[in-house]
Structure 1
Amino acid sequence: MARFLFTTWEGGGHVQPMLLVARDLMTLGHDVLVLSDPCNCLDAAALDVPFGAWTTAPFQTGKSRDDDRLRDYEADNPLAVIQRLLDRVMTGPALAYATDTLAAIDAFAPDVIVSQELLTGPMAAAEARGLPLALLAANIWSLPTMAGAPPFGAGMLPATSDEERAMHAMVGQMSRTFFQAGLPDLNAARAALDLPPLNDVFDQLNVARSILLATSQAFDFAPSPLPAPFVHVGPYLADPTWVEPCAPPAAGGPLVVVSFSSLYQAQEAVLREIIAALGTLAVRALVTTGPAIDPAEFEAADNVAVVRSAPHGRLLAQTALFITHAGHGSTLRPLMAGVPLLCLPMGRDQHDNAARVTHRGAGLTLAADAKAPVIAAAVNRLLNEPRFKVRAQALGERIQADEAARSAATSLEILALKPRTIRRR
């Protein structure tokens, strides 16, 4: 049996998939340890996954709006978003993350390191010790390193002409250039670890022997076949541990469920417009605000219940429409239940997820600043035009098949059996 050290950070929807993969490895008889922010310890405990907390690296002790250290909703352009990501997660604290990872390596003696794709510090630590490294991305690939995929962030569709391919290449190269602002910090961390400097931030990813995309191939726009070392391993999705029992309003009408990010993205305004729109319609609606926002901040009509959380897994069987920011989990889970989506993306991977939904005819997308009458009109279309339900069911069946065949644990077992380089100390 092998030993696997997982490293991640409190970035929302990618934490639980990593915990689920770790649990699968435990079920197969392997030893695991997950290193993450202290606020994720309860999530790990609920799955009986051994857990350790960052101490030198930045960490969060809670999941409220005040705990979020990225605060990318305050940035007013893509470059500012990337700079925050570099300074606060990806390269600025790279040495701190590497230091904690090295301490965990010494204490736990793993055979394989599995890290989240934005943490260059643990990648460098694995390189310094000559340990096999895998990256686990619980979403579509978010970095400008995959040839043949649409650029991340803007919700672009696959290129169908030379002109579109040239546009994709230009946008991808521009994004790649923006990330190079983090190279001095990353190389400083590498120097402290006695590693040679890199010429490109993304050269650090070359240490990974495998990059596991924990999403559905049927949902993705990635090229087929995927270029090495990428591999689709299927989605890992479940209700978070902090979900509490909740019943939707008992009034008649189709059930509409609303779920926005578990992280704070300044989503109060869009939630208020959605609540106002649903209050004018012959529906019963359940709005979940997540741990970052107090439901008491919102006023709602009698047919709309506003709560902090609800067991979406159980509710989806009776749900007619799902309204979401289009985070990865909040997009795939309704589709797997055959439920059409109304997407109001606010950033991160959300525009890209929404593009995949609308391109397949499984829902509609509105701007996050859409007003209540526009939202109400879109809800009426999605509830009254059967084609959206038909397309959502067709796409959902393919995503279900990918989930049933998910293979991250198997891929990691294979990696543990491969010859390794000599550990450096």
Structure 2
Amino acid sequence: MAAFKTIALFPEASFGAALNCVGIAQELRRLGARPVFICHPGFSGVFSEYGFPEYQLADDASGAPTDWNDFIERHQDAFRQTPFDQLESYVGPTWDAIVDTAIRVEEPLRQLLARLKPDAIVLDNVVMFPAIANAGVPWIRVVSCAETEVPDRNVPPYLSGCGGTPDRSWQRFATAYERVTAPAHRRFSAFLAECGLKPLEASHFLSASPWLNLVLAPQIIRHDREKALDPQRFVFLDGCVRHEAPYTPPRFASHNDAPLVLTSFGSLGAMDVAMTKRMIEVFSTLPYRFLVNAGHWRDEYRDVPDNVFIDSWFPQPSVVEQASLFIHHGGNNSFCEALYYGVPSLVMPYCWDGHDNATRAAETGVGRKLDRYGWNPRDLAAAIGELIADGAMAQRLKANAKTMRAAAGVTRAAEEILKVADTAAIGARAS
């Protein structure tokens, strides 16, 4: 039945969610379905590059689209703060911007879904769009952020970077988070009511799907929940990695037989050129090869050491597979790709769920956490060298990678999505 199914995928305006959905869409296509992408302004071309039809949401006349590069640049000073301090300076303003976006695209999204007539909608986002809830077809929620997005008494508060067991710091963060997000939540609740939907509980902007929820949280880093999630509605994915073209590392002027290290802080984190240049100075003293993702700021780098290669983009899964270490910001997509290929992570977070994943990497022994700004050259060099030399960690990660590949996360995700679409179609015919 898959051949008759149009599956609309709507990821948030971030490359992590977008490329996670690409992996699922590739498998949906292989199984005979017709995946199509709904994308925010600024993401046109991302999905067509992989051969998928894409439909950009038209701008509503009520306001200009959020320019996330500009938003991040204006709030970049917050990245030097603790997760708790970021609640006021970054998390609150981010939720305001997210709610603005959801309200602005409601009518264009409703019209687009009426045209597309999908059999199911895959929502990889942190906020609900009433047009999706009211579309008359099943919607599937994908949690491609850290598992902490799905709350539980034994799981640290979302975005807190907390670890260990529940204590006062957990409650302090959760209380402050609810207070800071309350204004955006009130606006969002009123918007949901206007669209005929019930408001969500305090500090929540997206509920679980009644049909299917896909949670990108490999077993090796998964939390021990007090209340297990309903296996009929929640499916954990041990990786959800897209297919990319093979990548051949460049010929370096030196260290060509040395271990390969990939450094990538995402499309937004790459704007901190000064911090990356500090890191490159350290890289130049180490006996390894380094690939550095510079994003749109590639031309800001002039004098590059012999053992460093800088580019604006790499086919990340193809590079991670060859790497001995992945230095990243803790984005869940990057973290899970490192685990999928058995590569240790050096996580240097700056916002959002990167804090949670950095703590979890250290807690579960799959990498280390290093403050993004509060390091000295000796700290960084030691962390890199010790992670590459840790044979016990490497052995454990390689064994886990074998398990994750066997679990075939993208296949499981695609099959579960099509199962939901098929069940809905059968029910519609029966009625």
Class of the TM-score when normalised by the shorter of the 2 chains: 0.7 to 0.9
Structure 2 residue corresponding to 1:410, chosen from 388, 409, 415: 415
How big is each residue's C-alpha offset from its partner over 1:42-82, in whole Å with a ceiling of 9 and x where there is no partner?
22112222210011366579x9x45x568553445223322
| TM-score, with structure 2 as normaliser | 0.82
Deviation at 1:222, TM superposition (A): 5.5
Deviation at 1:368, TM superposition (A): 0.6
Structure 1 residue corresponding to 2:157, chosen from 151, 160, 165: 151
Partner secondary structure for residue 205 of structure 1: coil
How big is each residue's C-alpha offset from its partner over 1:190-213, in whole Å with a ceiling of 9 and x where there is no partner?
244244555645275155432211
| Partner residue, 2:131 | 125
| Partner residue, 1:190 | 192
Q: Are the structure 2 counterparts of residues 130 and 292 from structure 1 closer, same or farther at C-alpha, using a change threshold of 3 Å?
A: same
| Partner residue, 1:231 | 235
Deviation at 1:350, TM superposition (A): 1.6
Alignment of 1:185-264 (within 5 A): 185-197=187-199, 200=202, 202=204, 204-206=206-208, 208-221=210-223, 223=225, 226-228=228-230, 229-238=233-242, 246-252=249-255, 254-264=258-268
Partner secondary structure for residue 413 of structure 1: helix
Alignment of 1:21-420 (within 5 A): 21-56=24-59, 59=65, 65-66=69-70, 72-75=75-78, 77-89=86-98, 91-120=99-128, 122=129, 124-143=130-149, 145-159=151-165, 164=166, 167-197=169-199, 200=202, 202=204, 204-206=206-208, 208-221=210-223, 223=225, 226-228=228-230, 229-238=233-242, 246-252=249-255, 254-265=258-269, 266-289=271-294, 291-297=295-301, 299-369=303-373, 370-403=375-408, 406-418=411-423
| Aligned partner letter, 2:88 | L
| Distance in 1 (alpha carbons) for counterparts of 2:328 and 2:205 | 35
Contact residue 115 and residue 136 of structure 1 kept, 8 A = yes
Q: Are the structure 2 counterparts of residues 293 and 279 from structure 1 closer, same or farther at C-alpha, using a change threshold of 3 Å?
A: same
| Distance in 1 (alpha carbons) for counterparts of 2:357 and 2:199 | 35
Contact residue 210 and residue 230 of structure 1 kept, 8 A = yes
Contact residue 261 and residue 325 of structure 2 kept, 8 A = yes
Structure 2 residue corresponding to 1:6, chosen from 6, 9, 32: 9
Partner secondary structure for residue 150 of structure 1: coil
Q: Are the structure 2 counterparts of residues 28 and 71 from structure 1 closer, same or farther at C-alpha, using a change threshold of 3 Å?
A: farther
Partner secondary structure for residue 13 of structure 1: helix
Contact residue 122 and residue 139 of structure 2 kept, 8 A = yes
Contact residue 144 and residue 173 of structure 1 kept, 8 A = no
| Distance in 2 (alpha carbons) for counterparts of 1:217 and 1:49 | 31
Partner secondary structure for residue 14 of structure 1: helix
Q: Are the structure 2 counterparts of residues 111 and 377 from structure 1 closer, same or farther at C-alpha, using a change threshold of 3 Å?
A: same
Partner secondary structure for residue 357 of structure 2: helix
| Aligned partner letter, 1:180 | A
| Distance in 1 (alpha carbons) for counterparts of 2:227 and 2:404 | 18
Contact residue 65 and residue 101 of structure 2 kept, 8 A = no
| Distance in 1 (alpha carbons) for counterparts of 2:322 and 2:150 | 39
Contact residue 113 and residue 133 of structure 1 kept, 8 A = yes
| Distance in 1 (alpha carbons) for counterparts of 2:112 and 2:369 | 44
Q: Are the structure 2 counterparts of residues 12 and 146 from structure 1 closer, same or farther at C-alpha, using a change threshold of 3 Å?
A: farther
| Distance in 2 (alpha carbons) for counterparts of 1:70 and 1:206 | 32
| Distance in 2 (alpha carbons) for counterparts of 1:172 and 1:419 | 37
How big is each residue's C-alpha offset from its partner over 1:292-318, in whole Å with a ceiling of 9 and x where there is no partner?
322543533222222223344444454
Contact residue 330 and residue 348 of structure 2 kept, 8 A = yes
| Distance in 1 (alpha carbons) for counterparts of 2:77 and 2:345 | 27
Aligned residues: 410
Mark the runs of 5 or more structure 1 residues left unpaired by the alignment.
Answer: none
Deviation at 1:238, TM superposition (A): 3.5
